[in-house]
Chain A
Amino acid sequence: MKRIYLDNAATTPVDERVLQEMLPYFTEKFGNPSSVYHEAHEAKFAVEAARLQIAQAIGADAKEIYFTAGGSESDNWALKGVAFKNRKKGKHIITSEIEHHAILHTCEFLEKEGFDVTYLPVDSKGLVSIDDVKKAIRDDTILVSIMFANNEIGTIEPIKEIAEVVKAKGIIFHTDAVQALGNIPVNVKDLNVDMLSMSSHKIYGPKGVGALYIRKGVPIVPLIHGGGQERNRRASTENVPGIVGFGKAAELAVQELDANMAHMRELRDALIEGVTTRIPQVRLNGHPTQRLPGNANFCFDYIEGESILLSLDLIGVSGSSGSACTSGSLDPSHVLLAIGLPAGVAHGSLRLTMGRHTTMEDINYVVDNLVTIIERLRKMSPIDANSPIDDTVYDHKK
């Protein structure tokens, strides 16, 4: 059965061109970039070339790009590194309720370490209010971190406008751009951010590598101490093949951005149109227009998300959900709760995120089958707003 992969927000397959770039660095050009000999030079050269590719992808200087093991590490470093470095100046951090757990759980950790964190609410579309940011700033605020685009509901935050407010007060501003890079234009000069997190495996690069953009002059301590790699700021022998792959993936992502955005937007809009017109009692989560071009997130009343995913998987489609059952916790997604959905409704969520390989046939197939899947699950469900007696009667003569 042909698989239709619609969970690109979770991870992406490595692009063939990226894979080819990486291969020599496993067995031929395998040297440790810090060493003195020939194999080392080749590796070092490749790391610096990738650094430049990443820098160019976001409008930064190569010296401002630091490689990490992924988006989570970048988020951790940005928060902890700035918090610990600046704690004499202040102990207040501002973030939002819909950040990725890499930000939220790090904030919770920092709270235990004596920092004060304000978690800004979002509106029903997932937008952070610039006014709320303004009001939340205190004399002892040392850091603001707001994600560029949300991974679950796709809402794109007004980062440039928020940066204006934050920078006017001279406070360090970080944004988690893990979902934004490759899907919308990302330019650090234009946005005026001090730090920005990136991840390779979301843009058809390999897993296990990411980067943190740190503007020149931002006071930050390392997370990982050891050898002097990454200009003494992030120790550990460089993941050369990973870094090379990431660099290539970033270069391709930016080169192909316009075409990619147009392609995904077309598919996403067809999916949203199909689902919302052919299936009753469904809502679209996130902002209708200020959203990632490839993200669709729905809530279907009266049914639960994991059973939808299971049904889709059986017909070859991969998606994700914000239900408690899929996250393994007791609560549904914190993002869906933050936009004001009741828990019961949040459990019935489905996130489908398109990618480079998605076709319109795929979308049509998914919509057609979703109609049947939702109908079947609804027939099984005891809840229905219309009336307490549902018309599915068990025929005990069968």
Chain B
Amino acid sequence: MMEYTDKVMKEFQNPKNVGELKDANGIGEVGSPACGDIMRMYLKISDDGVIEDASFKTFGCGAAIASSSKATEMIKGQTIEQASKLKNSDVVEELGGLPQQKIHCSVLAAEAIAAAIEDYNSRKAAQA
């Protein structure tokens, strides 16, 4: 259906890191109900700037769920600096490709992570 790759279907059926992170210190949300796409990323970042843990919640299609799940897997264990460099094309590659009209789901996932990192940074700045 929708010509999704096997990897996308696998991710959709068994998404990783679903849910809220109770001790998240960076939370980012993009999209809106009207758009039909909302992604919320929860990050737990250590004092030395490493993403110890990541989880997501998504309202969206198969590609959206697969993209956000895959993105959390990719950034776990990375530094904030590394995670900030995450491009949507990286996510698409890890998923073995996305149909043309679904590429924007991967963009949203990268944007949600960026938003979560920004949230972490502004919280840190506020504490300083």
- A interface residues (Cβ-Cβ under 8 A, vs B): 302-307, 309-310, 313-314, 323-325, 328, 330, 332, 342-345, 347, 379-383, 389-390, 392-394, 396
Q: Contact: A307 with B61, CB < 8 Å?
A: yes
Within 8 A of A (CB), among B1-20: 1-2, 4, 9, 12-13, 15, 17-20
B 1-44 binary contact with A (CB < 8 Å = 1; else 0): 11010000100110101111110000001001111111110101
Chain A residues whose C-beta falls within 8 Å of the C-beta of B29 in the assembled complex: 382
Chain A residues whose C-beta falls within 8 Å of the C-beta of B60 in the assembled complex: 304, 307, 325
Q: Contact: B55 with A309, CB < 8 Å?
A: no
Q: Contact: B32 with A394, CB < 8 Å?
A: no
Q: Contact: B62 with A307, CB < 8 Å?
A: yes
In the assembled complex, the Cα of A396 lies from the Cα of B37 at a distance in Å of: 26
Interface centre among B34, B35, B58, by most chain A C-beta atoms within 10 angstroms, is: B34
Q: Contact: A306 with B62, CB < 8 Å?
A: yes
Q: Contact: A380 with B65, CB < 8 Å?
A: yes
Chain A residues whose C-beta falls within 8 Å of the C-beta of B32 in the assembled complex: 344
Closest chain B CB from A46 CB (angstroms): 38
Closest chain B CB from A387 CB (angstroms): 12
In the assembled complex, the Cα of A310 lies from the Cα of B63 at a distance in Å of: 10
Q: Contact: A309 with B18, CB < 8 Å?
A: no
Contact of B101 among A314, A328, A381 (CB under 8 A): A328
In the assembled complex, the Cα of A81 lies from the Cα of B34 at a distance in Å of: 38
Contact of A379 among B4, B18, B61, B63 (CB under 8 A): B18
In the assembled complex, the Cα of A311 lies from the Cα of B35 at a distance in Å of: 21
In the assembled complex, the Cα of A396 lies from the Cα of B38 at a distance in Å of: 23
Contact of B53 among A304, A323, A396 (CB under 8 A): A396
Chain A residues whose C-beta falls within 8 Å of the C-beta of B2 in the assembled complex: 306, 310
In the assembled complex, the Cα of A344 lies from the Cα of B9 at a distance in Å of: 24
- Name the CB-closest residue of B to A381: B59
Chain B residues whose C-beta falls within 8 Å of the C-beta of A345 in the assembled complex: 33
Asked, given contacts A310-B12, A393-B22, A394-B42, whether A325 binds B58 with beta carbons under 8 Å apart, the answer is: no
Q: Contact: B33 with A389, CB < 8 Å?
A: no
Closest chain B CB from A161 CB (angstroms): 36
Count the B residues whose beta carbon is within 8 Å of the partner chain — how many? 37
Chain B residues whose C-beta falls within 8 Å of the C-beta of A396 in the assembled complex: 21, 44, 53
Q: Contact: B20 with A380, CB < 8 Å?
A: no
Q: Contact: A394 with B17, CB < 8 Å?
A: yes
Asked, given contacts A304-B36, A314-B13, A381-B57, whether A390 binds B20 with beta carbons under 8 Å apart, the answer is: yes
B 90-121 binary contact with A (CB < 8 Å = 1; else 0): 00000000000100000000000000000000
Contact of B59 among A304, A332, A343, A392 (CB under 8 A): A304
Chain A residues whose C-beta falls within 8 Å of the C-beta of B18 in the assembled complex: 379-380, 392, 394
In the assembled complex, the Cα of A343 lies from the Cα of B53 at a distance in Å of: 33
16 additional A-B residue pairs with CB within 8 Å, beyond A304-B36, A381-B57: A302-B59, A307-B12, A307-B61, A307-B64, A307-B65, A323-B61, A343-B36, A382-B29, A382-B59, A389-B20, A390-B19, A390-B20, A392-B19, A393-B20, A394-B55, A396-B53
- Name the CB-closest residue of B to A343: B34
In the assembled complex, the Cα of A313 lies from the Cα of B65 at a distance in Å of: 16
Closest chain B CB from A301 CB (angstroms): 10
Q: Name the 10 nearest CB pairs between A and B, nearest first.
A: A344-B33, A306-B61, A382-B57, A394-B19, A347-B36, A325-B61, A382-B40, A343-B34, A394-B55, A392-B19
Q: Contact: B1 with A304, CB < 8 Å?
A: no
- Name the CB-closest residue of B to A313: B1
Chain A residues whose C-beta falls within 8 Å of the C-beta of B38 in the assembled complex: 381-383
- Name the CB-closest residue of B to A388: B20
Chain B residues whose C-beta falls within 8 Å of the C-beta of A303 in the assembled complex: 59
Closest chain A CB from B105 CB (angstroms): 9
Interface centre among A304, A305, A392, by most chain B C-beta atoms within 10 angstroms, is: A304
Asked, given contacts A382-B58, A396-B53, whether A324 binds B36 with beta carbons under 8 Å apart, the answer is: yes
- Name the CB-closest residue of A to B57: A382
- A-B contacts, 12 of them at CB < 8 A, read A303-B59, A304-B61, A306-B62, A307-B60, A309-B1, A310-B4, A325-B63, A328-B101, A343-B34, A344-B36, A382-B29, A390-B20
